[in-house]
Structure 1
């Protein structure tokens, strides 16, 4: 399943692949990607095999109806445990990479199908939330250890930049010291002071892709009081809805795309002007 959101009546500034979180699907995250689309970006949302409805269909022993509303799966202990097994299974990491690369291969066809000009190349970028942020950082160059294999790197040089929303740090899913040394392109990492990892890790752990990555087009934004859903940009009522946090994420991510993908000087200047808040939303902001 593939969902696309695109600008009305204009050739997109860029194509952004948005990678969903564990159990979610490509139908979600419209509060953020719709904002980008209204401002010139074609946003493509693949659905990965860890989508809860797909898991329910493959594994009838879980006792879930694939056609029912399964958005509350995280409150079901047995289902939550199974989804967390999936999160830590390399097959699912690699399937996400394979699917995104296939989409990048088909970028011209996607542009043509959504009203773009296939004869005019546009830049490519990747973004993701939670498990999707893991996918995005691998494609941006983060190296991981796969069980029983040599260290693996999945960097795709077609990507101009990456956005990591509630990402992962060391000692999970093959990430470790040195994982981010080759993540040399522009990367925006966003988390919140109430954001937690699958193992209960705090925002400092979620900041490691920034802290341990090389300088050059890197930004860290830590929103005060924001949880895993960073003000409520995901669909289905996930996370607390906090309008000032949601709007800060929208403005920050759009400026990053404009500055580092569309090469807009005004957006780069705005990023350079951020100190300790975006509108009414307080945050820790660090560029390097």
Structure 2
């Protein structure tokens, strides 16, 4: 068990966003928290991070990108916890530390196992809560959000209502979870179509989504320089969930961002091609504001934060919001 305090950035826009969402509180992080999972290749392990104080705490269940374990994405998890969220990070079976690669016969079902991991965490949340000293009785289990990056975003979007199309183009089973009240999709891949590369079509059946059924309140985050190796579509591919989903009413486009969105998997990690600490700091705060407002209708952090981005953040990004079927841009002139 370790105790840390998040350190805010000194960039002006970051300081202005902190004035909206508040400063950091000390955080406690416990790992691994192990859940018995009969039939799974290995037991499910998770990291749980939470503020040391406070009550009625909302929950974020986070799904990592391909290959990562529960120790990844510290820039997001530690920040969210320092701003009042209980953050749970499972290690999915595709984690590099488990060694289940493309040639393993179990790999074909990992996308379904990922969804099972997320729902199992919700099913066993009492055990997770009890694993963190001092956390019991301080959690609001009616305020649960799901967030995912890359493959993790695909995992999360199914919990929010998105379906996977079968070989005949028909939507597959509904795997949504009503306990999840809001979501954030970070660099979520889009519709299949003819532009989907053969490797992806053959190995990733989940890359054929239908967003028409995604009705849970959702923020989509995309980088305008994110060019996937899975599709010949441009960066707009990562905005399809916003374009085609009734629930994804908000789109945050980060200027100059590639697939790691400035470095959210970790500081100075090899896969980050667009290292930008200010971008990550802004994303930390905007996602916190969105989730606060999505989980609590009386909280206006998201309106204030997106308005601030429009006023002073024109070099960082913009927010598009759908209202009554129309899309409005919130960006500095």
TM normalised by structure 2 equals: 0.71
1:99-130 C-alpha deviation (Å, 9 max, x unpaired): 11110011233223223234864311100110
CA-CA distance at 1:251 after TM superposition: 1.3
- In 2, Cα distance between the equivalents of 1:209 and 1:271? 22
Alignment of 1:147-158 (within 5 A): 151-158=172-179
1:34-65 C-alpha deviation (Å, 9 max, x unpaired): 1110010010000011001212xx5xxxxxxx
Are residues 280 and 251 of structure 1, via their aligned partners in 2, closer, same or farther at CA, if it must alter by over 3 Å?
farther
1:166-185 C-alpha deviation (Å, 9 max, x unpaired): 001111634557x1122111
List, as ranges, runs of 4+ consecutive aligned residues in structure 1 with deviation greater than 6 Å. Answer: none
Match of 1:251 in 2: 285
- In 2, Cα distance between the equivalents of 1:2 and 1:278? 38
Match of 1:50 among 68, 72, 94: 94
Are residues 272 and 285 of structure 1, via their aligned partners in 2, closer, same or farther at CA, if it must alter by over 3 Å?
closer
Alignment of 1:227-266 (within 5 A): 227-235=258-266, 237=269, 238-239=271-272, 240-266=274-300
- In 2, Cα distance between the equivalents of 1:276 and 1:228? 23
Alignment of 1:1-288 (within 5 A): 1-11=45-55, 13-55=57-99, 83=102, 90-114=108-132, 115-118=134-137, 121-122=140-141, 123-146=143-166, 151-171=172-192, 173-176=205-208, 179-200=210-231, 201-214=233-246, 218-235=249-266, 237=269, 238-239=271-272, 240-271=274-305, 273=307, 276=310, 279=313, 281-288=315-322
Give the alignment's Cα RMSD to 1 decimal. 2.6
CA-CA distance at 1:7 after TM superposition: 0.7
Match of 1:68 in 2: none
1:220-264 C-alpha deviation (Å, 9 max, x unpaired): 111110111111121261313202211121111000111012445
Structure 1 alignment gaps of length 5 or more: 59-81
Higher strand share: 2
Contact conserved, 2:164 with 2:171, CA < 8 A, in 1? Answer: no
Higher helix share: 1
Match of 2:20 in 1: none
TM normalised by structure 1 equals: 0.81
- In 1, Cα distance between the equivalents of 2:90 and 2:114? 9
Contact conserved, 1:245 with 1:281, CA < 8 A, in 2? Answer: no
- In 1, Cα distance between the equivalents of 2:50 and 2:316? 31
Contact conserved, 2:57 with 2:138, CA < 8 A, in 1? Answer: no
- In 2, Cα distance between the equivalents of 1:272 and 1:223? 13
- In 2, Cα distance between the equivalents of 1:253 and 1:109? 27
CA-CA distance at 1:152 after TM superposition: 2.2
Q: Give 3-state SS (helix, strand or coil) of 1:26's partner.
A: coil
- In 2, Cα distance between the equivalents of 1:13 and 1:44? 13
Are residues 272 and 226 of structure 1, via their aligned partners in 2, closer, same or farther at CA, if it must alter by over 3 Å?
closer
Are residues 277 and 112 of structure 1, via their aligned partners in 2, closer, same or farther at CA, if it must alter by over 3 Å?
farther
